Amino acid sequence: DNPLLSTPISKRQAHEFNPTQPRGILHRAFSVFLFNSRNELLLTQRAPSKITFPNVWTNTCCSHPLTDMGVNEVDTNDHFSEFKGIKTAAIRKLRHELGIRGEDIPLEGFRFLTRFHYWAADTVTYGNGVECPWGEHEIDYVLFVRYDDERNGPLALDLNEEEVSDHEYVSLQRLKECLYDPDKALRMQT
């Protein structure tokens, strides 16, 4: 447990790269990977209005746990590997970004895989120079969840256009094609 990771900071402050914090501020985050019954991963394209990594295709949903919520979303090592707070935050953001109802993806359906520390400058948007103003510096909690669309029907989505501009379910083979063959990359909505 690092007390700095529990100190509330603004999203802008955490992701801003500048001379006094060249890698932003280390903070907690989570990444949700949602699969359907055919083991296809739901990918999303970030909205063009996003400050970091606009228009980039990514996993289903990424965000940050919040403090002072009804259920505390900021877990400590005492919560390993249950991490109810992070999972509650994931449900909140799936609803906010994709319109997914909590009853469709219940807390107990999430599986915590690991957490890792990473840093990434948004060179996709702002270039490779030392002046890149935005990026990520996070302890990221990785969550997998499956929605049984064969039994329950298609998962209802209602994309929040301020967060997500497009989505696509991809098989492992299709994901590999997207990553390794530029001619088969996912379509870009700009």
Structure-token pair, residue 33: 């990977």
Q: Where are the beta strands (DSSP E) in the chain?
A: 27-35, 41-46, 57-58, 61-63, 111-121, 135-146, 164-170
Query: Of these residues, 16, 61, 138, 177, which one is catalytic?
Result: 138
Residue written as tokens 């990026």?
Answer: 135
In the residue annotation, 62 being an active-site residue is answered as yes
In the residue annotation, 131 being an active-site residue is answered as no
CA distances from 160 to 48, 80, 100, 114, 150 (A): 12, 32, 11, 28, 25
Query: Of these residues, 61, 62, 73, 97, which one is catalytic?
Result: 62
> Which active-site residues does the annotation give?
62, 138
